[in-house]
Amino acid sequence: MITEFITVTSAGQALHGAREDSAFLAGGTEILRLGSSVSRARMIDLKGLGLDTISVENQSVTIGAMVTFQQALEHDAVPGYLKEALRFCASRTRRNMATIGGNIALVRDDSYLLPTLVAAKARLVLADLATDGSYVEENIPIREYHSFRDHFSGSLILGIILNKPQRFVASSRFSRTAQSPAAITVSFGADISSGEPHDVRICAAIKGSGVVRLLQVEQSVASGHYRNADDAVALAGADILFADDSTGSAGYKRYLLGTAVADLFRCCLAAMGKGESV
Amino acid sequence: MNVRCTINGKSVSVSVEPGDTLRMMLVRLGHFSVRDSDDGEGFAGSDTVIVDDRPVYANLMLALQAEGSVIRTPDSLAQGGRLSVVQQAMIDAGIVQSAYNAPATALLLTWLLEHDPDPSRETVKDVLSGIFVRDTGYEHYFLAVQLAREYRDSGRYASEIAPQFRDHLSYVGKVKPKVDGRQLVAGWKSFVEDRVEPGACTMIMLRSPHAHAYVTKLDTAEAEAMPGVIAIITAANCPDVFYMSAGQGNPEPSPYDRRLFNWKVRHVGDRVAAIVAETEEQAKAAREKIKVEYQVLKPIFTVEEAMAPGAPVVQNGVAEYLSGAPDGLDAYNKGVDPREGKVIYPFPLHADIRRNVAAAAHGAIGDVAQGFADADVVIERTYQSSQIQCTPLEPHIVYTKIDNDRLVVHASTQVPFHLRRIVARVCGIDENKIHVIKEKVGGGYGSKQDILVEDVAGYATWITRRPILYRNTREEEFIANSTRHPMRVTVKMGARKDGTLTAVYMDVRANTGPYGNHCLTVPMNACSKTLPLLNCPNMKFDVTTYYSNIPPTGAYQGYGAPKGSYALMTCLAEMAEAVGVDPLEMAKKNHVERGFMLEILKSLGEGREGTVVPVGSCGLRKALDEGARMIGWGKKEKAPGNDWRIGKGFAMIQQGSGLPGLDHATCDVVLNTDGTFMVHSGGSDIGTGLDTISVKCVSEVLCVPMEKVSILSGDTDNTLFDTGAYASSGTYFSGNATLKAAENLKEKVLAEAALQMGEKVEHLVLRAPGEVFSNKTGNVLSYAKLSHDALTGVGRGQLVGYGSFVTNNAAIPYGAHFAQVAVNVRTGEVKVQKFYALQDAGTPINPELALCQMYGAALKSIGHSLYEDLVLDKDGVCLTPDFTRYGVPMTSELPEDFKAVLIDEDDEYGPFGAKSISEIATNGAAPAIANAIHDAVGVWIRSWPFTPEKILRQMGKIS
């Protein structure tokens, strides 16, 4: 039950206001929804922080954490691959409320954005309090945020940075209806500037298993180990524990992951002029 | 804390609590059209408002977040009594039906047109993606936007809204605004929740966490002593009355196996206690203090488990019969545990509760064994359907109070008169002590044919004398409401090589869950609304219904027909493949036509012998031919990519129009003193336009504009008896009763006019705009003068027409649904590219509403076929208790090309030739899509929903 509502005008104020029973309130589509995984008494409203802008600087696009999905979709500077992921949230009304920062912070196992942002090698701008209580900001790769989630649990996401030139990034989401929870959301990213895929990132949100990187497949793709896209099927998910649930059986999810990774890899090859697009 | 904001142009400062949502604040301020369908899930969109020029869900915003914001609510659109262009266009397009979120949709579409004056279809679809529409299937929402644009730009509509029928009639078959459209789209007070008065108490329910258990200890003392608590009702203090929840003809073909509260719980979510308190918070606090201990029993969830020897028995109480008790009943009841309660059968239904059999039925025509012997090919296939939820946007809700020492029930119900009877039984009072007022129903689809909340709320008010509001949460809708029975249907079919059927056998095994409401009739419909499509001389069926511990089942639009249709029509297609005949040719070879005697109906009555009638008006062949032409039957389509395959399928469908021999409707029409008319119809308009049908009937017969006719319906004090809105009875039964009342009044008007005018009746006619005209003298008498003079001190009294309708004649609607799907062979995904619903509804009295109902029912059944599933875990806990996880179709799931087509047939028995329209439209999608999937990738999917996983499994892609 929410008993306290705090408005703040700076990130420092927000961090200083945080307690064990508090949560940063962004769009509200997760924290305030029926059955939310977050139940806190003290809400710290981030509306007054001015984090709702998108800016383009030199070789990068910075998207404020409070930018809504719909706002990002309507902005010319937001790359197409991210717009593809933003559309995974199929309700326009919800897109009007859900924020980029909120979706990242939740790390849901059916996350709309996290796999794509990991594949895109996005960076996060975080605000935190040092041990002496002083305010600090840091700029970290999103994979670090993902890998060391507990370490950043008290951090406040200020925005994401997407570097140009754009990588090849593509994503797939598999759910029964457009608005049902996804069994699998998977994204494939690679630098294709050299004519070969390198700096590969493959990340999947798997219902019941969490958000995982497919490190072995990444290495195999980057090292040129695979002769064709379908070679990726066998290894994708080999080290993941899949769960049966209402989105599908473990076997189905494993199959889908392999198939989707192979298809995205094929798209990547097609983007380099090496094969047919799917 | 205070919020300062602007609401609909007015600055306000409002005191709120930190946890208050924006919706709570707005409703407190009187903006009650900001409704709630999902308890804050952020899905259904009934709570949509515009905040700072963007549509948001008011349930997902704290009121305090709105500080400084500019807010628009749906009630801002209509100025005084004048609707906006968008609101009027929505009525005219036919999409304002059950309308629980129509005001929110009007707001959303208004916002859209303000920002994009000429939006594309894709943009409209995107903007509507946050609105759940169950009744009208979205398609005419695009039309509404188009109409609004046209009216805005030119002051008139250019697009055709719907085809119109019967040139000789003025109102029937014509596009006319639904009579309650204005109040519904504007968001004026309409629904049960709008009738709640200040000071009303709240009732909530404590429900069982176990699927099958005895309640061994129940201690409410601490809870009862808590502040604000008025009453706690449990098995210990509720009436020892057994009844059943189904609002069906009396005596019902279902067992009385419910008590308000039982010492045995039979599903997760079963009632344990009702808590009545002055506030919801107090009720919830008291609920926490009720101490319950359970002796957990082994549950059963499937027909197979229920059938197994030695299976746990779900209803193991004393069996009683009100008539026709079988021999040996004393021995049957020996040693029964009193905690099991009773199962009372009004008449025998071939039950055996000790083996979990709630009801059974059997029947046959011809010689089935000989039929199979005569066949060149015999196949036998089993089809499984899963549990499906009705998901009305307005959950089950009731407001009860005492007035004039009588119990008043404001209900969202399809069956006000059955409701009165059942509540009277529960409370132990006579029907004259109860007044049921059917309010506007924000979606019923069969689930509000069951008395699921009015029984306990009515009883609570009767004993406490306090006004009480009870409303199901969305989760309770999923776990404690009525749902579609899961069924296992085995079809055995024999045919000659040329495709002629020689024998058909259907074995229906249905799962009724914990209680037996509708337990005979729903499964029987799997046969009675499918087998009569076939002209096969040898047909047989066996129906058996089993108790289990799944959430309760009951009536759902289509009743048992969608499941029977899925099985029978898919098997017919499988047989076509087996004998090498085109499925369409096979269908044409075996379907009935006008005049064919439906002998099979004799054994398909609802617990009694049915009436054999011939096929009357029948547009089945026309629907097949036209559908085949539209979809390009036989033509191979180009796939959208390497991994996709295209397939086409279809299904023949039928339903009924009410229950001849069982249903009854009555109506009166009163001539008011100024020459206008008042209709009192017992019928229950649940948003489908039945009131509009009644008004059109009166306008047509008495030659007056529709605005001169008003209607009151579904009010047990003020209207005459009607069995209610179920079994597709509204148009046929209630409509015919109104027609008869109007014709009766016409006779009386002519007779009175003859006296007043000094002329003979045979020289008089009624004519527009509401007067009596003499063909002989040219004299005219207005209805106003006629009525006035009839009511003077020397008059003969008020003119009232009376109509009572019963019949043994069937007005069977027919149709065919066609689907074209694309199936991805790597992922198993299915896209419905085309869906064409072609139906013979006789004369569609409200053609625009009819089309929308066809779209709604077809999309609903596409949802059942492909997406929706009520999933339980091993302990019977529902894993999909909200819209998102359950998976209802939204705009994203619309077929790319979606068409509803009315096949013109004039029926001899329906009012002005009308037949039913809506239920039948739920019967086609499953078999049409299953057949299309087979056409695409060569596998038969024999259980719904047809998930990608099942398709991949059938294709051997996963094990």
- Nearest residue on chain A to B883, judged by CA atoms? A180
- Nearest residue on chain A to B129, judged by CA atoms? A91
**Chain A residues with CB-CB distance to B48 below 8 A:** 93
* Same structural domain, A90 and A151: yes
The Cα–Cα gap between B884 and B907 comes to: 42
Single residue among A110, A132, A163 that ends a domain in this structure: A163
Contact by Cβ (8 Å): B35, B46: yes
Contact A2 B952 (CB under 8 A): no
Boundaries of domain holding B716? 665-805
Band (B300; pLDDT cuts 50, 70, 90): very high
Looking at chain B, the whole-number percentage of residues with pLDDT higher than 70 is 100
Q: How many CB atoms lie within 10 A of CB B312?
A: 17
A79 found inside a domain: yes
Nearest CA-CA partner of B418 in B180, B664, B191, B690: B664
B380 found inside a domain: no
* Same structural domain, B719 and B764: yes
Range scoring the smallest mean pLDDT among A189-203, B172-186, B615-629: A189-203
**Percentage helix, strand, coil, to 5, in chain A?**
30, 30, 40
A31 found inside a domain: no
Q: What angle do CA B552, B558, B561 make, to 5 degrees?
A: 95
- Give yes or no for residue B660 having a pLDDT over 80: yes
Residue with tokens 């997902």: B60
Question: Given A2, A34, A92, which is nearest B18 (Cβ)?
Answer: A2
What angle separates helix B783-790 from helix B735-757, to the nearest 10 degrees?
80
pLDDT digits (tens, 9 = 90+) for B678-692: 999 999 999 999 999
* Same structural domain, A250 and A194: yes
CATH for B8: 3.10.20.30
C-alpha dist (Å) from residue B302 to B475, B484, B872: 22, 14, 11
**Chain A residues with CB-CB distance to B866 below 8 A:** 176
Contact by Cβ (8 Å): A138, A128: yes
B369 found inside a domain: no
* Same structural domain, B494 and B613: yes
Average pLDDT over residues B935-955: 98
Q: Name the amino acid, one letter, at A49.
A: L
Structure-token pair, residue B113 = 């047109």
Q: In DSSP terms, which residues pair with B774 in a beta bridge?
A: B764
Single residue among B76, B109, B142 that ends a domain in this structure: B76
Nearest CA-CA partner of B748 in B801, B695, B705: B801
* Same structural domain, A146 and A183: no
Contact A181 B948 (CB under 8 A): no
| Residue A20 at interface with chain B, using a CB cutoff of 8 Å | no
* Same structural domain, A124 and A141: yes
Q: pLDDT under 70 in chain A at which residues?
A: 165-166, 275-278
* Same structural domain, B552 and B592: yes
Average pLDDT over residues B112-132: 98
Q: Name the amino acid, one letter, at B540.
A: K
Structure-token pair, residue B879 = 């894993």
Structure-token pair, residue B358 = 């709630």
* Same structural domain, A53 and A156: yes
The Cα–Cα gap between B332 and B345 comes to: 14
- Give yes or no for residue B607 having a pLDDT over 70: no
Average pLDDT over residues B353-365: 96
The Cα–Cα gap between B886 and B866 comes to: 12
A24 found inside a domain: no
* Same structural domain, A130 and A143: yes
- Residues composing chain B: 959
The Cα–Cα gap between A157 and A65 comes to: 6
* Same structural domain, A196 and A151: no
Contact A246 B869 (CB under 8 A): yes
B375 found inside a domain: no
Q: What is the pLDDT of residue B392?
A: 97
Strand order in the sheet with B897-903: B644-654, B814-824, B830-840, B897-903
Q: In DSSP terms, which residues pair with B380 in a beta bridge?
A: B492
Contact B643 A278 (CB under 8 A): yes
* Same structural domain, A122 and A62: yes
* Same structural domain, A134 and A180: no
Band (B216; pLDDT cuts 50, 70, 90): very high
Nearest CA-CA partner of B697 in B669, B657, B729: B669
A8 found inside a domain: no
Contact by Cβ (8 Å): B440, B191: yes
Question: Given A47, A94, A259, which is nearest B42 (Cβ)?
Answer: A94
CATH for B283: 3.90.1170.50
Mean pLDDT over all residues of chain B? 97
Nearest CA-CA partner of B358 in B211, B524, B215: B524
| Residue A70 at interface with chain B, using a CB cutoff of 8 Å | yes
* Same structural domain, A138 and A194: no
Average pLDDT over residues B770-777: 97
Average pLDDT over residues B331-358: 97
* Same structural domain, A54 and A159: yes
| Residue A144 at interface with chain B, using a CB cutoff of 8 Å | no
Single residue among A107, A131, A163 that ends a domain in this structure: A163
Q: What is the pLDDT of residue A209?
A: 96
* Same structural domain, B579 and B681: no
* Same structural domain, B213 and B348: yes
CATH for B411: 3.30.365.10
The Cα–Cα gap between B344 and B559 comes to: 23
Boundaries of domain holding A149? 49-163
Q: Name the amino acid, one letter, at A262.
A: A
C-alpha dist (Å) from residue B295 to B217, B263, B732, B873: 9, 11, 50, 20
Single residue among A163, A189, A218 that ends a domain in this structure: A163
Contact A32 B61 (CB under 8 A): yes
* Same structural domain, B622 and B695: no
* Same structural domain, B163 and B238: no
pLDDT digits (tens, 9 = 90+) for B870-907: 999 999 999 999 999 999 999 999 999 999 999 999 99
- Nearest residue on chain A to B45, judged by CA atoms? A93
| Residue B126 at interface with chain A, using a CB cutoff of 8 Å | yes
CATH for A210: 3.30.390.50
* Same structural domain, A264 and A215: yes
Q: Name the amino acid, one letter, at B654.
A: Q
Residue of B46, B48, B54 to mutate for A, most A C-beta atoms under 10 A? B54
CATH for A86: 3.30.465.10
pLDDT digits (tens, 9 = 90+) for B50-90: 999 999 999 999 999 999 999 999 999 999 899 999 999 99
Single residue among B174, B192, B210 that ends a domain in this structure: B192
| Residue A259 at interface with chain B, using a CB cutoff of 8 Å | yes
Average pLDDT over residues B909-936: 97
Single residue among B161, B192, B223 that ends a domain in this structure: B192
Q: How many domains does chain B have?
A: 6
Q: How many domains does chain A have?
A: 2
* Same structural domain, B632 and B496: yes
Backbone dihedral angles phi then psi of residue B151, each to the nearest 5 degrees = -65, -40
Contact by Cβ (8 Å): B652, B586: no
B387 found inside a domain: no
Question: Given B19, B54, B879, which is nearest A246 (Cβ)?
Answer: B879
The predicted complex's ipTM stands at 0.96
Looking at chain B, the whole-number percentage of residues with pLDDT higher than 90 is 97
* Same structural domain, B165 and B63: no
Interface of B with A in 128-187 (CB under 8 A): 128-131
CATH for B151: 1.10.150.120
Q: How many CB atoms lie within 10 A of CB A117?
A: 29
Residue with tokens 């929740």: B193
The Cα–Cα gap between B603 and B599 comes to: 8
* Same structural domain, B871 and B772: no
